[in-house]
Structure 1
Amino acid sequence: MVFLPWIAMMAISSSEYAFSSTDETLSEAHGWHGAHIFWLLGVWVLFQAAVAFPTGKLRESGRLSARAAMLCGAVGTVLGYLALAYAPNVIVAYIGFSVLGGTGAGMVYATCVNMVGKWYPERKGGKTGFVNGGFAYGSVPFIFIFTNYMDTSNYGGTLTWIGFLLAAFVAVTGIFFRDPPKNWWPVHVDPLKVADDPRVRRSLSKNPPAVKQYTPREAARTPVLYLMWFCLLMTAGVNIFGIAFQVPFGKEMGFAGGIVALAMSLKAVVNGTGRGVIGWISDRFGRRQTLTIVCVILGLAQFAVYLSGSIGNMPLFLLASMISGFGGGAIFPLFAAMTADYFGENNNASNYGMVYSSKLVSGLVGSGLGAVVVAAWGYGGAFVLAGCIGLFTGILSLLLKQPGRGSRAAEAEAVPMTRATVA
């Protein structure tokens, strides 16, 4: 329940992280102008995030099994690629790729991320980060394929075989998915006592379990949920802006296509591997403390990307791209694990779905409105704005506190963290 979700996450990653590498080919082949390309990605992100909460509710109610969710995701994956390959007009592309493809990816994402957190409640940061990382670096081979191989003569066949291949990975891995029982903890860990394992003891001291198992309605009554939502909105918007505009920015600055593809690939690799590393770090030093540092890194990296590109410094451009990828990827496992830390594991799919729904807006802001800002202020104004947003979010993150911790009334209502084991 770690490696299978990881493989499935890699399979859906190219739709987001490699999409900007298809912009020139799709524009030339279909006659879609640049704004449509960026809005296609923005609407895809919107639907990918929109299904997180309903998928979580259906999963937790028992009306949607993990296997069924993954099979639906596989269908959406292949339909999205077929739409890009054969859509007779841009409206069909929006429906096929952005709506159906985004919905399928969202079901896979929500199922994989929340499942691994349930199986590893005592060390959810590192495990969640590892699985979440597949959502970025799984796109690396496709960035090179879309940039260096695919053109107007072969784009239909290329997108078709890639779509069926990735859908097969999602479907086959999903067949073996299963959830742990409610309130499940590993038999060697007692969350109510100090663990014998020093790694677990350190993790639980820095990230104590939730005071109670919050239902979505109870979580929605806490101000911290909305602050988490807003912080994720800001940081995810900056991350998506970088994904959408780094390739066209690099090309406009005069870098060769191979260099731009390499920069984007390094960004995706560090984006993904950074999720696992940052999850492990947050287990040791605390989720909120780690989040603040990541937001600052993400903000500063936007200034570095623009500066290095504007002066034509290729090594610095590659380094800045990697740092930006690290910061942009690290935020997602941090918020996923923090949601379980703050509100408990039993309803984590629904609770994280509410937090993750901020990506509904961040996708449109980072990709769609990002295109508007670039057109009005140029790349310089857009990257400076993105950097300032990252730094501002770092300040806001200092206000994140676990609900009920230190409150006698809340702790008195706490649902005991019992340990159920698999029969």
Structure 2
Amino acid sequence: MTTVVPSHQEITDSNGRVYRIGESPRDIMGRPRWLMVLLPWIGMMGISVSEYAFGSAEETLHDAHGWSSTNIFWLLSVWVFFQAAVAFPAGYLRETGRLSARAAMMLGAGGAFLGYLALSHAPSIFWAYLGFGLFGGGGAGLVYATCINMVAKWFPERRGGKTGFVNGGFAYGSVPFVFIFTTYMHTENYQSVLDLVGVYVLVAVLVSGLFFKDPPKNWWPAHVDPLRGQVSSRSLRKNPPAVRQYTPREAVRTGMLPLMWVCLLFTAGVNIFGIAFQVPFGKEMGFAGGIVALAMSLKAIVNGTGRGVIGWISDLAGRRQTLTIVCVILGLAQFAVLWSGSIHNMPLFLLSSMVSGFGGGAIFPLFAAMTADYFGENNNATNYGLVYSSKLVSGLLGSGMGAVVVGAWGYGGAFVIAGGTSLLAGALSLILRQPGRPRSATAAPVPSGATLTPASEQASG
């Protein structure tokens, strides 16, 4: 019996970066690569409920368990902490081959399911912290990191729009559950509702994760010339491939990865603050529960769809330029939410909520795509895990410390701080640039020649 493995070539450019071409997605995994957009999107839809719909369940959890509002907001902070905490170790295990993408999704599905069992049956807040915070957050983090890095690896030539689409599922996938938690779930049925939501998350993540498969190291789609494409493709001109494949240590030493960490820390904290406090702020301003649920749902929808749109825009306009604009939009939106609520203007409150959702969601696919643009695909799971680890702190600041600030200075002080923080992130983003590339260059020069290394890929067995 003879097995023929498709041949490939490795092209080395003038910077020493290697591109592996010649293998189609069907050759590698037996399926078209668009499935590596659809399946990660389904997985992200599944875990979206835990973060973006959590604020809508706060009142019922308070009444059913007797937990204080402060404890419940800290519960979300613990979930966010562990969701971000697993990104780097999961990326390291994935890149070293010790944890497959499929296994990561299976573990994530189980953890997320245990999180909902804890929310519905925990005898005390401690067990909720352990079950929902540790296991639920860690499981969601495994799924999130695996899905985002999967699509980035399969679409290295136009990752912005694809990454944004997948990332968007993490927001608008929660929309039906915002209404369920706000209008249907109550103290008599909360356990059955939360248990069924847990089953939904388990099934969505399990089914999508069964078909995950990574491309080989340095893989590049054969129909796009990795050298000439930087001239013929606007996306590659605005967002040229990384000069080389950076290890995590090398990426940190460039100074750009720590700066990205700080920018994401600020903007993610503002986003989480809005998720946690928009519902209680709207209720305190006198808006009806249905209106507040609508505002939160619109926020989640725009948050999610905006990720795909902004990813596509960044392909055309440039990742760094787009990031700066998004930070400014997110910052100004915090002042708009505060003002519209203070004057009890419902249409303006809904509009401000949508704009805030757009800005808060758009930052994540931008950083995910920018990490691969700056440092390459081979270590992207680990490098993005480092960048995303800033959410360890931003989750605590946005939800837990947000509750402290609201208690001390009211919603006015909290929203002003949030707006100013996002504007500061926008100023810092102006410093970002691709490592190893001259400041004046928008794309790497096309080499006059390239080194071709044919691979002997036929084997008998």
> Same fold by TM (over 0.5)?
yes
User: Contact between 2:326 and 2:359, CA under 8 Å: does it hold in 1?
Assistant: yes
User: Contact between 1:192 and 1:417, CA under 8 Å: does it hold in 2?
Assistant: no
Aligned partner of 1:366 among 382, 393, 398: 398
2:224 is equivalent to residue 224 of structure 1: no
User: Contact between 2:230 and 2:237, CA under 8 Å: does it hold in 1?
Assistant: no
**Runs ≥4 residues deviating over 3 A:** 415-420
1:38-92 alpha-carbon deviations (Å, 9 max, x no partner):
0000010000000001111111111111111001011011100000000000000
Alpha-carbon distance between aligned partners in 2 of 1:362 and 1:165, rounded to the nearest angstrom: 28
User: Contact between 1:184 and 1:418, CA under 8 Å: does it hold in 2?
Assistant: no
5+ unaligned residues in a row in structure 1: which ranges? none
**Corresponding residue for residue 354 of structure 2:** 322
Q: How does 1:240-255 map to 2 (within 5 A)?
A: 240-255=272-287
Deviation at residue 406 of structure 1 after TM alignment: 2.5
5+ unaligned residues in a row in structure 2: which ranges? 1-35, 445-449
Secondary structure, in 3 states, of the residue corresponding to 1:2?
helix
- What letter matches 1:17 in structure 2? Y
1:167-186 alpha-carbon deviations (Å, 9 max, x no partner):
11100110011111111111
Alpha-carbon distance between aligned partners in 2 of 1:355 and 1:277, rounded to the nearest angstrom: 22
**Corresponding residue for residue 262 of structure 1:** 294
Alpha-carbon distance between aligned partners in 2 of 1:419 and 1:102, rounded to the nearest angstrom: 45
2:106 is equivalent to residue 71 of structure 1: yes
**Corresponding residue for residue 394 of structure 1:** 426
2:157 is equivalent to residue 125 of structure 1: no
Instruction: Call closer, same or farther: CA 1:63–1:390 in 2, change over 3 Å.
Output: same
Alpha-carbon distance between aligned partners in 2 of 1:246 and 1:157, rounded to the nearest angstrom: 26
Aligned partner of 1:149 among 159, 176, 184: 184
Instruction: Call closer, same or farther: CA 1:26–1:276 in 2, change over 3 Å.
Output: same
**Corresponding residue for residue 145 of structure 2:** 110
Alpha-carbon distance between aligned partners in 2 of 1:247 and 1:139, rounded to the nearest angstrom: 15
Instruction: Call closer, same or farther: CA 1:99–1:241 in 2, change over 3 Å.
Output: same
Question: Structure 1 vs Structure 2: percent identity of aligned residues?
Answer: 75
Over alpha carbons, which structure has the higher Rg? Answer: 2
Deviation at residue 195 of structure 1 after TM alignment: 6.1
Alpha-carbon distance between aligned partners in 2 of 1:89 and 1:125, rounded to the nearest angstrom: 43
1:223-256 alpha-carbon deviations (Å, 9 max, x no partner):
1111100000000000000000000000000000
Aligned partner of 1:304 among 336, 344, 358: 336
Deviation at residue 324 of structure 1 after TM alignment: 0.1
**Corresponding residue for residue 235 of structure 2:** 203
Instruction: Call closer, same or farther: CA 1:23–1:406 in 2, change over 3 Å.
Output: same
Aligned partner of 1:27 among 54, 62, 70: 62
Aligned partner of 2:89 among 35, 54, 62: 54
Instruction: Call closer, same or farther: CA 1:297–1:419 in 2, change over 3 Å.
Output: farther
Deviation at residue 419 of structure 1 after TM alignment: 10
**Corresponding residue for residue 83 of structure 1:** 118
- What letter matches 1:178 in structure 2? K
Instruction: Call closer, same or farther: CA 1:275–1:419 in 2, change over 3 Å.
Output: farther
Bigger fraction of residues in helix: 1
Alpha-carbon distance between aligned partners in 1 of 2:451 and 2:298, rounded to the nearest angstrom: 45
**Corresponding residue for residue 281 of structure 1:** 313
- What letter matches 1:313 in structure 2? N
Instruction: Return the TM-score normalized by structure 1.
Output: 0.95
Alpha-carbon distance between aligned partners in 2 of 1:224 and 1:70, rounded to the nearest angstrom: 30
User: Contact between 1:121 and 1:185, CA under 8 Å: does it hold in 2?
Assistant: yes
Aligned partner of 1:189 among 224, 233, 239: 224
User: Contact between 1:183 and 1:417, CA under 8 Å: does it hold in 2?
Assistant: no
RMSD of the alignment, in Å? 1.9
The count of residues paired between Structure 1 and Structure 2 equals 415
Instruction: Call closer, same or farther: CA 1:30–1:403 in 2, change over 3 Å.
Output: same
2:374 is equivalent to residue 342 of structure 1: yes
**Corresponding residue for residue 383 of structure 1:** 415
Secondary structure, in 3 states, of the residue corresponding to 2:229?
coil
Instruction: Call closer, same or farther: CA 1:313–1:189 in 2, change over 3 Å.
Output: same
- What letter matches 1:122 in structure 2? E
**Corresponding residue for residue 3 of structure 2:** none
